[in-house]
Amino acid sequence: MRIDFERGISNSRPFEPQGLGLVPMVVEQSGRGERAYDIYSRLLKERVIFLVGPVNDATANLVVAQMLFLESENPDKDIYFYINSPGCSVSAGLAIYDTMQFIKPDVSTLC
C-alpha cells in the first residue's frame, strides 16, 4: 500500500473533516490494477466510520447512510465509530443514536 497526499476542498466532499486541508489517499494494487481511495473511504471498507466536526443534518445523514450500508454488506460484523465533535444539533445526534440502536451490527464508539 502506498500513501499519497492530496489537497482536499471541504465544499466538494461533504464528508471530509472540516479544517483539514490534506486528505491522505491510499493506492491499492491488485491483479486488476491500481485503485486510489481517500483514507475515509478506505477505512469504510474496514467498517470504520469517522464523525469529525459539528453534528448537523448533513453529517448525520452521511453517518446514518454509512451505518445502513455497512449493515447491508454484513449484518453480523461490528462497526467502529470514531467521534471527534463538539456536538451541535440534538435531532441530528439522535438520528445517529437511533440508527445505532436500530441496526443489527454492534457499534463500538470512541470519542
pLDDT band at residue 18 under the 50/70/90 scheme: low
Count structural domains, the chain. Answer: 2
Return the pLDDT at 22. Answer: 86
User: Count of alpha carbons within 13 Å of 101, Cβ hemisphere only?
Assistant: 6
Q: N- to C-terminal Cα distance for the chain?
A: 28
Residue 4 has pLDDT above 80, yes or no: no
pTM of the model: 0.78
25-74 confidence digits (pLDDT tens) = 999 998 999 999 999 999 999 999 999 999 999 999 999 999 999 999 99
In total, the chain counts a number of residues equal to 111
Asked if 1 and 52 sit in the same domain, the reply is no
Q: Which of the pair, 33 or 19, is modelled with greater confidence? A: 33
57 and 108 part of one domain: yes
Range of the domain at 81: 47-111
